[in-house]
A and B are shown apart, each in its own frame.
Chain A
Amino acid sequence: MDLFLLSLAGGLIALDTTAVLQGLISQPLISGIILGWLTGNIALGLHMGLLLQLLWLNQLPVGAAKIPEGNLASIIAVIVTIRLDVFFGNSQNILILLVILYALFISWLGMSITTFIRNGNGRLLNFVLRTLKKDHIHIISGVHSGSILMQFILHTAVIFTAVLIGQRVIHEILLVLPAGWNNIARYIELGVIGSGVGLTLALYKDKKDMLFLLLGAALGLLFIFVM
């Protein structure tokens, strides 16, 4: 699928993070599946989504807290991986390593994008307050729709640009890296998902949780033996 159309889809998915619904559609696991389906590689989209899913799970969007934009970063990471996998399928470990590093950078950069949107919304609120003095009631709905549209356009533009840059940079790096590096990076997925598990453990640190964690581990072993 054309990058522009993919970015539009990514922009729509990204709206679910805060502005529209908030029904987990923008979580990496789901966005990975959707983007994978759109690009004809559901398996890789799902794989990347799973890999990225736990990394940002313990970042709670409480109040005005600034947290890394993991969902936006994951959308970009999935698109870059799927587009580069066509050329570097034999070097998937090192490709994933570079994409993860890029996603971390984007998630950090995403905090500034969120702040930019929130500041812009603050100006819109002032505008609504001024206009309401003249009893122009429909300005509330107009500004609301306008703000969501602007966020969609901004996210789409960020995804389009970040994918182009990331794809180009990672492509160039992969061309010059020796083939042996792929072997060095063979544990990258275990490292990343291990990190996600470690970060998520912060949400389950009570004694009671530990008991159920062990129960889950036992159930997992049982499933492995049975299946």
Chain B
Amino acid sequence: MNMRAEKIKYRDFVSIFLRTLLLQGVWNFKGMISAGIAFALVPAAKRVSASREEWAGILKRHLGFFNAHPYFASFAIGALARLEENLAIDKTGDTAQIERFKIALIGPLGALGDSYFWAVIKPASILAGSAGVLLFSKLEYQLASAALMLILYNVPHLYIRISGLWKGYQSGYNTYKLLKIENYARVKSAYQIVGAVMLGMVIVLIICKNGGSDFRGVLVFGLAAAGSAFLRSKGVYMQLAVLFSVGLAAVIGLV
């Protein structure tokens, strides 16, 4: 940290972090996660405000519109806490500049978070847990696999929430420099590989364990997988793809 007067205390960060866990509690179409941002900023806004009116004014400004991936939003919350603090201490910047900065963060935070967590880390963690459950027959090991799934996911999840808050606060307007895809490429690539390997394992384990001795079972699995993949690629609702597979299983069961 550089040498500067700081109003926001460590305990405020703990409070802000806990509040970020409820970030999407009031998710709505009008402001999206803006209510969550204001809710998370309550301790910081209180600390930097000289009066109740000022405190309310800060929160009101952050209720307009904001959207981001819920974990990566911590970068924005940390940065906003810093900028509001700067504004209160030495009048650096102005509210219009803060608003423009916030709007500029929406794209990078959403794109990065969605592609990092929803499209890669979440499926990879779940597939790893599922492969473990399929691999072991002892309940204890299956439960351990499910626990592994939670660890694989929540380590990067909580890391991003905590480090995002802290790094965002340290960087202020420079937060955008942290939000480069290259900074996250290595972990993302590793999880993508884990996901693909685990999906391959899941396929083989299901075939060997459930349909290995029954050709028709393997046929149902293969046709259901191929049919669902094809239907989904054509933009068909997932419910219809599953209905197709259920129907297919019943028809082959009838033969």
Contact = CB atoms under 8 A, between A and B. Distances in A.
B120 to A, nearest CB: 8
Contact of A118 (B27, B36, B60, B211): B27
A144 B25 contact: yes
A29 B253 contact: no
A89 interface: no
Contacts of B222: 194
Interface residues of B, number: 99
Given A189-B210, A197-B202, A199-B228, A137 B196 contact: no
Contacts of B224: 190-195, 197-198
Identify whether the interface residues of B are mostly helix, strand, loop, or mixed.
helix
B246 A219 contact: no
A133 B57 CA distance: 9
Contact of A57 (B123, B197, B221, B246): B123
Contacts, number: 316
Given A128-B63, A191-B246, A200 B199 contact: yes
Given A24-B149, A187-B220, A198-B225, A193 B206 contact: yes
B114 A60 contact: yes
A190 B206 contact: yes
Nearest to B124: A203
A97 interface: yes
Given A18-B27, A59-B238, A62-B114, A204 B195 contact: yes
Interface of A: 18-25, 27, 29-30, 33, 42-43, 46, 50, 53-64, 68, 97, 100-101, 104, 107-108, 118-119, 121-122, 124-126, 128-129, 132-133, 135-137, 140-141, 143-145, 147-148, 151, 183-204, 208-221, 223-224, 227
Given A58-B232, A211-B196, 4 more contacts: A57-B126, A59-B238, A190-B211, A195-B228
9 contacts: A63-B114, A101-B243, A125-B35, A187-B253, A194-B225, A199-B241, A204-B199, A219-B200, A223-B201
